[in-house]
Amino acid sequence: MTGSTSDILVSVRNLSKAYQRGSQIVPVLEDISFDIPAGEFLALMGPSGSGKSTLLNLIAGIDKVDTGNVLIDGIDITTLDETELADWRSGNVGFIFQFYNLIPVLTAFENVELPLLLTGLSRRKRQEHVATVLSLVNLTDRMDHYPSELSGGQQQRVAIARAMVSDPAILVADEPTGDLDRHSAEEILSLMDRLVREFGKTVIMVTHDPRAAERAHRIIHLEKGVLVPVPPSVPSCST
Amino acid sequence: MFYLKLIIRNAFRHKLRALLTIIGVAVAILAFGLLRTLVGLWYLGVETSSATRLVTRSSISLVFSLPISYRERIRHVPGVTEVSTMNWFGGVYISEKNFFPNFAVEPETFLKIYPEFVLDPAQKKAFLADRQGAVAGRKLAAKYGWKVGDRITLKGTIFPGQWEFVLRGIYSGAQKSTDETQFFFHWNYLNEVMRKTIPRRADQVGLFTLAVARPDLAAEVSQAVDALFKNSLAETRTETEKAFQLSFVAMTEAIMVAIQIVSYVVIVIIMVVAANTMAMTARERLGEYATMKSLGFRGYHIAGTVFGESLFIALLGGIVGVMGTFPAAHIIETELSQFFPVFAISTSTIMLQLASAVAVGIAAGAFPTWRGATIRIAEGLRRIG
Ligand SMILES: Nc1ncnc2c1ncn2[C@@H]1O[C@H](COP(=O)(O)OP(=O)(O)O)[C@@H](O)[C@H]1O
Ligand SMILES: [Mg+2]
Q: Is the pLDDT of residue B256 over 90?
A: no
pLDDT band at residue A237 under the 50/70/90 scheme: very low
Which residue has its alpha carbon closest to ligand 1 atom 17? A51
Optimal mutation site among B289, B294, B306, B379, interface A, most CBs of chain A within 10 A: B294
Q: In this structure, is residue A239 part of a structural domain?
A: no
Q: How confident is the model at residue A3 (pLDDT cuts 50, 70, 90)?
A: very low
Q: Is residue A202 part of a domain?
A: yes
Share of chain B above pLDDT 70, in %: 99
Q: Would you say residue B317 has pLDDT above 50? A: yes
pLDDT at residue B383, rounded to an integer = 83
B54-94 pLDDT, tens per residue? 999 999 888 889 999 999 999 999 999 999 999 999 999 99
Which H/E stretch holds residue B281?
Answer: helix B253-284
Distance B10 CA to ligand 2 centre (A): 28
**Count of residues in chain B:** 385
Nearest-Cα residue of chain B relative to residue A93: B295
- The three-class DSSP label of residue A14 is strand
For A25, the 3-state DSSP assignment is strand
pLDDT exceeds cutoff 60 at A1: no
- Residues ≥6 apart with Cβ < 8 Å to A17: A27, A28, A29, A51, A54, A58, A63, A65, A66
Residues of chain A whose beta carbon is less than 8 angstroms from a beta carbon of chain B are 54, 57, 60, 62-63, 83, 86-87, 89-90, 95, 97-99, 101, 103-106, 114-115, 117-118, 162
- Average pLDDT estimate for B120-146: 95
Q: Which helix (H) or strand (E) holds B223?
A: helix B218-228
The pLDDT of residue A152 is above 60: yes
Domain-located, residue A70: no
Q: Would A35 be classed as within a structural domain? A: no
- Position B301 confidence tier, pLDDT thresholds 50, 70, 90: very high
Give the Å distance between the CA of A5 and the centre of ligand 2.
30
Given this model, what pLDDT does residue A230 score?
65
Residue in B closest to A175 by C-alpha: B385
Sorting pLDDT into bands at 50, 70 and 90, what band is B22? very high
Q: Which residues line ligand 1 (CB under 6 A)?
A: A 19, 21, 28, 46, 48-54; B 379
pLDDT of A239: 41
Q: Which atom of ligand 1 is nearest to the CA of A174?
A: 21
Identify the helix (H) or strand (E) that includes residue B287. helix B286-294
Interface contacts (A, B; CB < 8 Å): 60
For residue A32, is pLDDT > 70? yes
What does the pLDDT average to over B93-119?
Answer: 93
What is the C-alpha to C-alpha distance for residues B104 and A3, in angstroms, rounded to an integer? 110
- The parent domain of residue A195 ranges over 41-64+92-228
Q: With pLDDT > 90 as the criterion, what percentage of chain B qualifies?
A: 79
Stretch (H or E) spanning B134? strand B133-137
Q: How many domains does chain A have?
A: 1
Which sign does the torsion angle of CA A203, A209, A214, A220 carry?
positive
Mean pLDDT, rounded, for A112-137: 95
Residue B99: pLDDT over 90? no
Confidence bin at A66 (pLDDT 50/70/90): very high
Please report whether residue A36 resides in a domain.
no
Beta bridge partners of B170: B136
Q: Please report whether residue A31 resides in a domain.
A: no
Indicate if the pLDDT at residue B177 is higher than 90. no
What CA–CA distance (Å, rounded) separates B368 from B372? 6
User: What is the model's pLDDT at position B237?
Assistant: 93
Cα(A173) to centroid(ligand 2), Å: 10
Q: How far is A112 from chain B (nearest CA, A)?
A: 11
Pocket test residue of A24, A28, A63, A227 for ligand 1, highest count of atoms within 8 A of CB: A28
Which of the four pLDDT bands, split at 50, 70 and 90, describes residue A232? low
More confident residue, B340 or A90: A90
Grade residue B253 by pLDDT with cuts at 50, 70 and 90: confident
Beta-bridge partners for A218: A42
Q: Which are the contacts of A103, defined by CB distance < 8 A and separation ≥ 6?
A: A110, A111, A114, A147, B6, B288, B291, B292
Q: Are B100 and B140 in contact (CB under 8 A)?
A: yes
Instruction: Tell me which chain A residue has its CA closest to the CA of residue B13.
Output: A105
Q: Which long-range contacts (CB under 8 A, 24 or more apart) does B189-196 make?
A: B189/B104, B189/B131, B189/B132, B190/B87, B190/B89, B190/B104, B190/B159, B191/B68, B191/B104, B192/B131, B193/B159, B193/B161, B193/B163, B194/B159
Report the distance separating Cα B228 and Cα B346, nearest Å. Answer: 42
List the CATH number of the domain containing A127: 3.40.50.300
Q: What is the mean pLDDT of chain B?
A: 92
Q: CB–CB of A101/B287 below 8 Å?
A: yes
Contacts of B293 in chain A (CB under 8 A): 62, 86
Question: Do A105 and B6 count as a contact with CB atoms less than 8 A apart?
Answer: yes
Using a CB-CB cut-off of 8 Å, the residues of chain A touching B383 are none
A86 to chain B: which residues are within 8 Å by CB? Answer: 293, 296-298
pLDDT at B385: 67
CA dist B131 and B146 (Å) reads: 19
Which DSSP helix (H) or strand (E) runs through A36? strand A24-37
Q: How confident is the model at residue A4, as a pLDDT?
A: 45
Between CA A73 and CA A84, with CA A79 as vertex, the angle to 5 degrees is 80
* pTM strictly above 0.90: no
Asked if the model's pLDDT at residue A188 lies above 60, the reply is: yes
Residue-level pLDDT at A236: 46
Residue A186 has pLDDT above 70, yes or no: yes
Q: Which residue has the higher pLDDT, B243 or B169?
A: B169
Residue B340 banded pLDDT, cuts 50, 70, 90? confident
A2 pLDDT band (50/70/90 cuts)? very low
Residue among B377, B382, B383 whose CB has most ligand 1 atoms within 8 A, to mutate: B382
As a residue count, chain A comes to: 239
Domain for residue A4, yes or no? no
First to last CA, chain A: 29
DSSP string, B56-106: EEESS-TTS-EETTHHHHHHTSTTEEEEEEEEE---BSSSTTS---EEEE-
A74 domain-assigned? no
- Res A231: pLDDT: 57
CA dist A81 and B347 (Å) reads 50
> Whose alpha carbon is nearest atom 27 of ligand 1?
A49
Q: How many Å apart are CA A186 and CA A211, to the nearest integer?
A: 9
Determine the pLDDT at residue A179. Answer: 92
* CB distance B368 to B306 below 8 Å: yes
Strand, helix or coil for residue B323: helix
